[in-house]
Structure formats: C-alpha cells, structure tokens
Amino acid sequence: MTKQLKLAATALGLILAAGAAQAQVTCGANTGTAATGAPILVGGIHGNAAPGDFSASTQAAAAYFACVNANGGINGRPIEYLVENDQWNPELAAQAASKLITDQGVVAMVGNGSFVEMAVNARTYQDAGIMTMASACAVSECFESPSIVSTNQGPLASTIGAAQYMVEAQESKNISCIGLAIPNVGPWSCGAMEGYMASKGLTGSSVYLNPASPDVNSGLLEAVASGADTILVNLPAGLALAFMKAAEEQGMVEGYKWASSTPLYDRSVPAALSDVWDGRMFVNAELTPWDKGGPDAINWLAVLDAYAPDAPRDTFSQSGFVSAKFFVQAMLALDPAKLDDRAAVNAAIKGIVGYESDLLCGPYYVGEADRHMPNHAGTMVVVKGDGFETVRDCYEYDSPYFAPIFENEKALGLN
Amino acid sequence: MRELLRPIAFATAACLGLAVLLGWGKPAAVVGLFLVSGLAVGSLYALGGIGIVLLFRATGVLNLAAGAIGAVAAFVTWQLGDWGMFAPLTWVAGLLTGVLFALAYGRLIAPGLSWREPVIKGVASLGYALILLGLVSFLWNDDPRKLSFPTDAVSLSILGLKVTVTRLIVVLAAIGIVIAITVALNRTRIGLQMRALANNRRIASLVGVPILRVETVAWGVSGLIFGFTGLMFGSLVRLEPAVITFMVIPCTAAAIAGRLVSLPTVLVAGLAMGVIESLLTLADTFKAVRPMAPYAIAIAVLVVMNLNRRLTFAGDD
Amino acid sequence: MARQANTSLVAGLSAAILAAFGLPLVLGGQWTGIFTSTACFAMAAMGAGFMYSRLGMVSLAQVALMGVGGWVTLRLNHAFSLPFETNLILAAVVTSVLGMLLAIPALRMRGLYLALVTLMVAGGLEVVFTAYQFPNGGAGFWGVGTSFAAEMRRPVLAQSDGAYLTYTLLVAMLGLLLIMAHRQTAPGRAWALIRRSEAAAIASGTNVTFYKTWAFGLSGLLAGLGGGLLAGSLGLLDASSFRASESILLFALVIVGGARFWLGAVIAAVLYRVAPGLLNNWGVDADLALIFFGAALLHAVTTAPDGIAGQITGLFRRREAKA
C-alpha cells in the first residue's frame, strides 16, 4: 500500500518536474531534444571532506550541463562533465588534474570550487593550455594566474567591497579586518583592504587568526586594541560565528560597526545568530542575492529543481551555474569542428568578452592576461530576522588593487 | 600538597613573568584582559587532559579519540536541541553519548589490544577517532552551527573582561572534577582499585582487583568528561567536527605536562598553557604561531622532568 | 635464515627496479602522481619502521619532518638556482639534523613518553606550517607570494611525471638499501644491544648517545628526502599535508604494514596513499572513506600483531615448511 502510494507520488513528482522543466528551463540551444553525438569532455574539481563542502558549484554546473544535454547539447553533442573531489588534499588535487587533463583529455575545466586545488594546479593548467572557469575560489593564486578565471570574487574583492560600503554608507573611519593566518588567504585579502583604506586617507589594520587556535577572544581583544570603529570579519562561516559569539559575550556588538565578506551570506547563518546582530551585521554578497529574481536567477532555480533537486542553492551554486552557462555560450559560438581541440576551446574561452547575466553585477570576460577577476561589483545585505535584506544594490568596487584589472578591461573595450 | 605547590609556583611565575615582559608599557587593563581570556581556553585544555590522564592511569590507554567522542556528544546535543527537545535533556543526552561511545571502545575494542605496549594502544585509538570523525562529518553537513547554553547570556566582569557564566563553569568544573576524582581515588573502594591498577597491573590482578569492572568505570567516567569537554568546546570554540576532534592534541600536551600522572598538575598546566597562548598575542613575533604554546610547554616539562634521568634497563617508559 | 632474508631482498630489489621502470609506462597521469606520493611517504615510513623495530623508539613526527624537508627544498629552489639534487640533499641534511635534535629527549625517555615528545614537535610544526605556509617564490625569508607559484625545478633526468616516478622509486630504493646496510653493520649490532638493555650496551662500551642520535638522524634523513621529493612532484606544498594527526596516522599504518619487514613500509605507504586514491576513484564519499579507513586500521592493529607484512612472510614460511 505504502509502496504504491510512494510510486504514485514519485510518478506525480516526475510529471510535475517534467512539466516545470518544459515550462521554465532554458538551456543552451534550447531545442528540447536530447543530444546524441559524441560527448565533449569537460572537467571540474571540488573540495568536499571534513572541514567543508565546496561542491555546490560543480553540482550546479552539472545540473546546467544535464539540462543543455537534454536541449540539443552543443550542436547535437552532449557535454560529459567529469567531476573529481580533491578532499582538501594538495596531492589529490594534483592527481585529479592529471586524471582529467592527461588521462581523460578534457578540453576545459568548469565550475571548480576549492581552497587548495587552484594553488596546486595553476601551473598545470597553464602548461597544458587549459582554461579553468572556476566558480568557488578562495586563494590568491586563483585570481592572479593566466589560466584561471573565477566567477566568484574571492575574499579580496569581497572584503574591499564590504569595507567600501562601510566607509561610504556607514561612515567608518578605522576598520580592523579579521582574517585567517594563511598567507594567500588572510594577509592577501586583508592587506588589500588596508590598501583601500590608505587610498582614502583612512586607517585599516588586520588581525590574523591561526585556524588551529581555539582562542578567538585574543583576536577580538587585538582588534579592539587597534582603535577600530568597525570590525570586518573575513573568515569561514564557522570561525566567523565563533568570533561573533565572543564579541557578543564581551558586549561589543553595540559599540562597533560590523561587516563581513561573503562567507556569512549563507542561509543557515541568520538562524545561528542571536537577535543582537539583527540589522547590525552587513554582509557583502559576491553574486546577486538568491531571491533577487531576473531571468537567469529564475532559470538557475528551475534548472536545479529539475536536474539537481538536492543540491544547495547558495552563492557558489549561482556561481557554478553562471560559469557553466557562459562556457556553453562560448562553445555554441565556436566552430563545431573544433570542439575537441583544446587550443581552440582555450582560445574561445579567452575570447569571452562582455557576457552578461543578472546573477552578476557587471559584465563577464576572460581575455589574455596574467590575472583575471571579472567579478568586482557586488551587493551589500544586512542580517534581518531569519534572512537578509539588501541595503545597497550592485555597486562597483574601487581600490588600488584593481588598477591592472581595470587596464585589462579598457584594452578589451569594457568600461 | 607540597608536590602541588611546585607546579603552581612555576605556572604562576611563568604567566606573570610573561605578562610583565610582553605587557611592559601597555595598560595593565589590556594585559588583564588577555590573562582572563586565556583562562577559559586553558581550562578546556585542562579538562581534556584530565579525562586523558584518568583513563590512562586506570587502563593504560592514551585515548586519542577523546576529541572525537566529544565531537559526537556536542553534535548529538545540538541536533536534539534543533529538534526542539527540552534543553537540559539534550545536555544529559550529550553527556550520555560521550559515556556510550567511550564504553563502546573500552569494552569492544580496547580488550583486543590489552597486551600491546602503550604506544600501540594510543595510536590504535586514532582509528576510532577517524571512524567517529567520518561519522559525524557524514551525518551533519558543514552548515555553520552554534551550540548555546542559557549561561552564555549571563556574565560578570573580571579584570575588565566580561566573563560569561559558561566560561566560569568550565573553569570551576575543571577544578571540581579534579577535586572530586582525587577524593574518589583516595576514599572509595573503586578508587583504591584504580590506584592499584595504575601502580602495577599484574600485581593488582593477582591480588584480585576486578580489572574489568574498574576499567569499565574508568572508560565511563572519562567518557563523561570527554562528552562535557566536547560540549564546552562546541560552545566556546567552534561546533565543527574536525576542530573538536583534533583538539585532543593540545589536550594531550596538558596531560603530558602533568606527566600523565597528576591530575592537579594537569589542571595547573592546562590553565597556564591557555594564559600563555593568550598573552603571546601581545608579542608581534609570536602572534602568528601562538597555538604552539601548549606543545612548547609540554616539551619543556618533559625535558626538565627527565634531566637527571639515565635510561639503563629496558622498560615500558 | 640470513640467506632467506637475502633471497627476499634480492627478489624485492628486482621487483622494485622492474616497478621503477615499468610502472610509468603502464600508469596514467593520476596513478603516476599517486605512486610518486606513495614512494615519498614510503621513505618516511621506513624511517619510522626501523626506529621502532630496531630500537623500540616511536617517532610520531615523521610526516612533520617531511614537511621540513619539503620546506627546505622549496626554499632553496626559489632562492638559488642550484640543481634539484643539491637542494634535495641539503634538505635531507637539515631534516636529519633536526631529527638528531629530537634524540636529545630520547636519551632520557622511552616508550610512550618519547613518542609524545615527538608528537608535540609535530604539533608545533603544524602550527608553523599553517601560519607561514611553504615557499612559492615570494620575497623574504618565508618566501610566500600571493601570485601563483614560481617554477619548481625537477631533476634534469626526470622532467616528465613518468620519469620523476622512476626517479623517486629509485631514491626510495636507495633509502631502503641504506637501512639494510645499517642493519648488517656496526650500528645495527649496537641498536640491537641498546634495545635489549642500555645498561649492557654501556657496559660493553657501546656509545649509546651516538647510536641513538644516529638512528634519529637517519630517520630524519629519509623523511627529508621524502618531503623534498614530494615538493618536486607537486611543485608546491600545503600545510594540510603535514598535520600532527597525519604523523600519527603514518605510524599507525607502519604498525599495520609490519615494522619489522621492509615490505611493511611499502604496505604502509600504499595504504596511506593508494587506498584513499582508490576509494576516491570509486566515488566513495570522503567521510565514509574515513570510516572504512579507521575501521580497517583498528581491525589490522588488533588482529595482526606483526602487521600485514608479517602475515605474508608467515604464509610463505608455512608453505616452505610444508614443502
């Protein structure tokens, strides 16, 4: 009896899903017929093991590719998306890249999300002539390499964006950035925030927490000792919550202005915060807010509903979706005879200029350059009730760090 | 008592000396803040260390799964709370989880290794730690979570630093547990048997000490301590499985500083480690590597303790 | 008995040479990487294994020492334009000296306490590695830049991944031979005596301090070589590879592999690197893989006191006895 019910429910669900998919989803050529040709091999690497799960980006990319394959593929050829897990282990990351590039012969990497993979493989990608359209990057190597371009902003841009909002809208004069004591994460991003503050004639300082240390209180005291009026939390969500809890205990929430880079823009964060933070914690969102709407935002959710119902629906997921979408757009424009030619695919990706999506605040481009950071405009939200509320829609960041990037954009005819 | 005075004198001298050295020219209130702040983390090290030493004395197992057991306890507590269970019940359930998982290892796996040397017993428990870490990470995804207690909201001011009652409870619990266990070891029958086992297992078994019963009690009590430590780590540090699991290494440092023997010394050493780690924030050179403090102290204690010792005949230690 | 050991050694060596030159031909890119890592960790495992089986001393800092070897190799590579071999040897020497420093407490401690001192060292190194990471061509003493890593030079003879695997396997084999040579000469006899009774060793005029320090130095040397080769294989290293828990895990696997046997170190390294690679390849969830791994570790430690290598050897012995 129960079994029958279940079957019926599943069937109904399938019909509904199919209906929804036909009604809303738009993917690639959008033909509605499945692609049957020889597959085009595309790789992706994410990190998913004990400290955290960065697989949302590859899951979203996989969902989009599945949708494209059901809708004509790339000129009739389906995309075979091969995803590896680096488990936060640099050796596994290198092996995963070898497997995808050398053994399986992928033509490009799309949707990568990891803390370690990009640092280890940046050179591998360059040597192999592979372009990586990453989606969930956190380390400097990801943004300062010729063969990686990421759709998300990473801690540096997000931190500058948060600082800029606090200076322009909340009148912050002295910001203390709380970062991880890992050179290519904390000092890299907080250092650039200090540079931004200096360029405005204001004061910026940084406090670095060793992730091995259980003691966040000392870091808080150090930030207070710096004389800051604003504390900018630039930490992974778990550590950020611990830090904020310490501040709460010390009764320091009201005495300071608070901001954070993207990691706190997570659905489960408002519930894990107590009411004192309501309306006080300003968080930078690297992509547009989940509920903003717009054709791509609606399509993103529809594609996930149809092809990956269990996947998370967060910033990294949006980012993976956008990377996959732009990749498909570039491949549809490429000569079909060259789809298996790594060099041609590489050139086609590097040729991406001015692609747009309502999930991003600015245009997306790749170009031939020694560094890539197309996404440097974001949205500011504030913790409100059980969710977030937008306080400043899409704004461009401005900081000395972006000078070479702006120059690249000028050369490409953007801006 | 005299034996206890020495570590206390050493620890106090070290902490105060460092406070003066690093805090020279800084307002006393700031130094006081770091001092008080370090005590809470220090008592967490001490708590873990106490559980480790108690178990080691009674069973000869240096339990590297202590942190993992604590992590399971903390996550069970969080989960039950998330399901809306009455808060005190979730705490009891969390502590019982600690007891259960410690007993499971103590009764099912540890006996298979009872004839191996202490190092192997210790290293093997890492296998159990990995199992528990894998289990917790598998069951609970990495969404950010927070474990709060009603005592988090109440605080009093010590040396200018607001100290929540939760932090106070950790310090007092560490002291209370040391006193309670010391009294139990000296006054109760099972305590006597435990001391006999710790002194010489072979002779203890010959004179009829019920080893299985004593060991079971030791595993259970240590599980309770690990569970409590895990809950406190989850609340005061972070509710992340890998973080709580590997906190066992600095806790081991506190245990070592008590030579794996003396519970009061473990307590004093643990507190000193926390305070020194916190004070190092004031030193620009050592700021980035201040979590090294427990390890450096443990090594120093071991080396100094053994300075006048010569190894001659082969033995266990 | 001695002859039997020699036959097994000759067989092992021929197999190893065959593997060194044959493996790169049949393996793909991923498995070439996995086996290179395996060979690197096998060197550290050998060090831990011989210290434990010959002297009864436990080092829970072998993987951390690999980190030191890797750090020095990378540091030298980015600071000077010396050839890879020079960097590797210097790194091994530095690591070896650091290992000898560990021997200072070892002269006064034994068993669990000694193991815990080395664990504390591993814990301290973990903190340093996390805070300062590994040199990647940046400026200053710590040499960490934020742009992507500068080039890591590989041996002239082993530029490709396949050739590098051969190179690593050959170095690992030399390491094994080095230990074998020690076992059959003066240090081996001194170690055996020390293990039995230090009083007897002192009475018979053996320089206990020297031979214990020597053992730590040798074990550190092997770890340093392993770390340096790992750095050459990946081009850069990450602190997460050298956590204190990894050092404990490697030692646990040495016990599982069988510390008394040369094959034990190989088995330990295979379990440490190949098994996770296989599970990952089969798409087993990383958390579940950890559970399997922990359970297998517990099972092997409890059921095979001589390790897997001991069981294999026992199997052959029994067969010989029957015949």
What pLDDT does B44 receive? 92
Contact A139, A152 (CB under 8 A): no
The CATH homologous superfamily of the domain defined by A155-285+379-411:
Response regulator (3.40.50.2300)
CA distance C65 to chain B (A): 16
Strand partners of residue A381: A283, A390
- Within this chain, domains A28-153+292-375 and A155-285+379-411 share the same CATH topology: yes
Instruction: Tell me the CATH number of domain A28-153+292-375, given options 3.30.2420.10, 1.10.10.10, 1.10.10.60, 3.40.50.2300.
Output: 3.40.50.2300
Give tens-digit pLDDT for A228-279: 999 999 998 888 988 998 888 888 888 899 999 998 998 888 988 888 999 9
Contact B144 A52 (CB under 8 A): no
Packed helices C244-257 and B118-139: angle between N→C axes, nearest 10 degrees = 120
CA distance A50 to chain B (A): 6
Contact C123 B317 (CB under 8 A): no
Q: Which of C120, C142, C208, C246 to mutate to test the interface with B (most CBs of B within 10 A)?
A: C120
Between A14-23, A136-145, C125-134, the lowest mean confidence (pLDDT) is in A14-23
Look up residue B47 and give its two tokens: 């708590």
Residues 272-301 of C with CB under 8 A from B: 285, 287-291, 293-298, 301
Q: Does B215 touch chain A (CB under 8 A)?
A: no
What is the rounded CA–CA span in Å between residue A336 and residue A333? Answer: 8
Contact C74, C135 (CB under 8 A): yes
Q: Which residue does chain B place closest to A247, by CA atoms? A: B162
| Cα–Cα separations (whole angstroms), residue A111 to A64, A84, A331, A342, B69 | 11, 11, 15, 17, 36
Residue type, C73: T
Q: Provide the CA A112 distance to its chain's centre, in angstroms.
A: 9
Look up residue A65 and give its two tokens: 């590719």
Name the interface residues of C facing A (CB cutoff 8 Å).
28-30, 32-34, 37, 126-127, 130-133, 136, 138, 142, 144, 146-149, 151, 161, 230, 233-241, 273, 276-277, 280, 286-287, 290
Report, as an integer, the average pLDDT of A88-108. 91
Q: Which residue from A50, A53, A215 is facing B277, i.e. has the nearest CB?
A: A215
What pLDDT does A51 receive? 65
Q: Is the model's pLDDT at A116 over the cut of 90?
A: no
Question: Predicted ipTM?
Answer: 0.89
Give chain B positions within 8 Å (CB) of A186: none
Above pLDDT 90, what percent of chain A?
A: 48
Give chain A's largest Cα–Cα span: 73
Confidence of residue B316 (pLDDT cuts 50, 70, 90): very low
Give chain B positions within 8 Å (CB) of C110: 311, 315-317
Contact B302 C293 (CB under 8 A): no
Distance between first and last Cα of chain A: 64
What pLDDT does A181 receive? 84
Contact C240 A96 (CB under 8 A): no
Contact A219, A209 (CB under 8 A): yes
CA distance C23 to chain A (A): 15
Closest among C311, C306, C189 to C259, alpha carbons compared: C306
Contact B144 A219 (CB under 8 A): no
Q: Which residue from C108, C255, C296 is facing B120, i.e. has the nearest CB?
A: C255
Confidence of residue B1 (pLDDT cuts 50, 70, 90): low
- Per-domain residue ranges for chain A? 28-153+292-375, 155-285+379-411
Contact C62, C242 (CB under 8 A): no
H/E element holding B170?
A: helix B165-187
Give tens-digit pLDDT for C10-61: 777 788 788 888 888 888 888 898 999 999 999 999 999 988 888 888 889 9
Report, as an integer, the average pLDDT of C173-198. 85
Q: Which residue from B37, B242, B243 is facing A218, i.e. has the nearest CB?
A: B37
The 8-class DSSP code of residue A401 comes to G
Give chain C positions within 8 Å (CB) of B256: 113, 116, 120
CA distance C106 to chain A (A): 27
Q: Does B49 touch chain A (CB under 8 A)?
A: no
Count Cα neighbours of C222 within 13 Å in the Cβ-side half-sphere: 29
Contact C238 A116 (CB under 8 A): yes
Q: Is the model's pLDDT at C113 over the cut of 90?
A: no
CA distance B184 to chain C (A): 27
Q: Does C108 touch chain B (CB under 8 A)?
A: yes
Give chain A positions within 8 Å (CB) of C162: none
φ, ψ dihedrals at B84, nearest 5°: 90, 15
What pLDDT does A196 receive? 93
What pLDDT does B314 receive? 46
Confidence of residue B232 (pLDDT cuts 50, 70, 90): very high
Contact B109 C302 (CB under 8 A): yes
Contact C286 A103 (CB under 8 A): no
